[in-house]
Amino acid sequence: MTPDSVFIEGMRLPAHIGVSDEERDTPQVLRFDLHLRCDLRRAGASDSVRDTIDYGAVYQQVAMVVEETSCKLLEHLAARIAAALLTAFPACDEVRVRIGKPALFPSTGRSGMPGVEIVRSRAEVGAKNSSEAG
């Protein structure tokens, strides 16, 4: 597996998330850090955006998932984002999705922000989709 990656850190989007219905009624701003593992050698040689993963397209994909999703847990949202990114970007072998709730404990700053981080591979998402088809 290649050590190369395309990343976006510090992305902030409002999301309808929370255990209670009342909590989900009011959007909360979440912080997203995304790392998409992919081979960047071709893009490094060609200097062409066609040979890499476009940051803008990643941002749009995540924003669309967040906008369309109302869920209880960050874990569920992170899994949906990971699956969407692996589906949308076939050149990506693995994704790391980190989601934090910066407003939950505002006095702690970034280092004390609670959240989740998941890593999913193309093989995991492909296996899940295959089992759902059967």
Nearest Cα to Cα of residue 124 among 98, 87, 91? 87
Q: Using CA of residue 59, residue 3, residue 111, residue 72, what is the dihedral sign?
A: positive
Q: Is 101 annotated as catalytic?
A: yes
Of these residues, 93, 101, 102, 125, which one is catalytic? 101
CA 16 to chain centre: 16
Side chain identity at residue 83, one-letter code: A
Specify which residues 134 forms β-bridges with.
Answer: none
Positions marked active-site = 101
